[in-house]
Amino acid sequence: MLDSAQIHQIQPSDPAVGLTPEAIARVHEGVATARQPVVRECVANDLAELSAIAQGTADQRVSGRFRRWMMRRLIKSFFRVRIENPEHIPTGPSVLTANHLSHLDPFLILAFCPPYPYYYILGDARTLYNKSWKRRLIGWAGGVIPLERWWKEEIAVMAAADEGRDDLRPLATEIHDHVPNGSSIHQMRQVDQAIKALLARGDGIMLFPEGRLGEREGHMHSLKRGTVLYAMRSGVPIYPVAIIGTKTLYFRKRLTLRFGPPVQVPHQARPERMAINDALAKLEQAFQDLLPAHYQEPKGPKLFSNWLNHLFW
C-alpha cells in the first residue's frame, strides 16, 4: 500500500503523529470529508478558479474591504484581539506566513490585515471545507488555493496496516482508495502557475509553513521548502506573523497577532539549494523572535470552550 520511502518517512511510533484513539478518529473524519460530494465540488470549483487566474482571467471574489468586514464581525463575536507591531503589516504583494494552532487562524489574519493586497489562503482542502459554515463562507468570499494530500496521521495508519495492524487495514484501504495523495502533477502546476500570476498582479499569498497544526503555543514544527520557493521565484518578501492564543479557544479570550519585519529573499527563477536553506533559516529565526518563549494560558473560567474548539476544528 505504501512504498518503503513513505513507510520510513513516518513510523507508527513517531511521537509527532502518535496513533492514539483521537488521531485515528481524526483520520476517520478526514476520510469521510474526502468522500463528501459537496467537498469534491468545492475543490473542483477552486481548481477552475486557479486555471482562470493562471490564464489571466479575472476570478470571482468579493471586495477585500467587505471580506475583511465580514471576517472581523465573525471574530469579534467570540474573541478579543490584540495587534502588535502593526508597522510590519505588509502593504504590497508578499507571502504572509504564520504558525498554525487552530483552523481559526486564517480567518483571524484576514480579519485584521488590510484588504489590499488581497490574500489567497493556501491550505489543506479538507480542513477548509470540512464544515458547512466554512464551505458557505469560503464559497462566498473566494480566495482559496486548496491542497489535496494525505495527512501524516493517514500515512501512519497505512504504514501500521502494512506492518501488521489488521484492525487498521479497512481504514488504510479507504485512505488509499478515496483520499487524494497530493501527487497530481496537473494540480501542482495549477497551483504554481496561479500563485505566480497572483503575486505578479499585486495580490498576496497566506500560508502556514509547518504544513500541519502545532501541538502547543510558542512552538513550531520544521518549515516546508515551499514557503520560501514561492517568494524567491516571484521576488517578493516573506512576512512572518506569530499567532498567540488560538490553541485553546473560549469565549472572549484575548488572541494576539504579532507581526514581524519582512524576510528578504533573493529573486531566483530556479532557487538554488544553498539560497533556499539560508532563507528557511532566516524565517525560522524570525519566528523564534516573535513567538512567546513561556506562554501561560490565562486563568479563570473558559466559557464555551468545547463548543468553540469544535467549531473551529
In a domain, 54, yes or no: no
Domain that holds residue 248: 64-148+184-292+301-311
Instruction: Tell me the CATH number at 84.
Output: 3.40.1130.10
pLDDT at 4: 35
In a domain, 223, yes or no: yes
In a domain, 101, yes or no: yes
pLDDT at 5: 39
Give the number of domains in the chain. 1
In a domain, 226, yes or no: yes
Q: Are 184 and 148 in contact (CB under 8 A)?
A: yes
pLDDT at 245: 96
pLDDT at 3: 42
Beta-ladder partners of 258: 84, 242
Q: Are 246 and 209 in contact (CB under 8 A)?
A: no
In a domain, 19, yes or no: no
- Write down the pTM of the prediction: 0.86
The stretches in the chain having pLDDT less than 50 are 2-16
Burial (CB count <10 Å: 0-12, 13-18, 19+), residue 120: buried
Report d(CA 15, CA 5) in Å as an integer.
19
In a domain, 1, yes or no: no
Residue 14: CB atoms within 10 Å: 14
pLDDT at 17: 52
In a domain, 262, yes or no: yes
pLDDT at 114: 92
In a domain, 36, yes or no: no
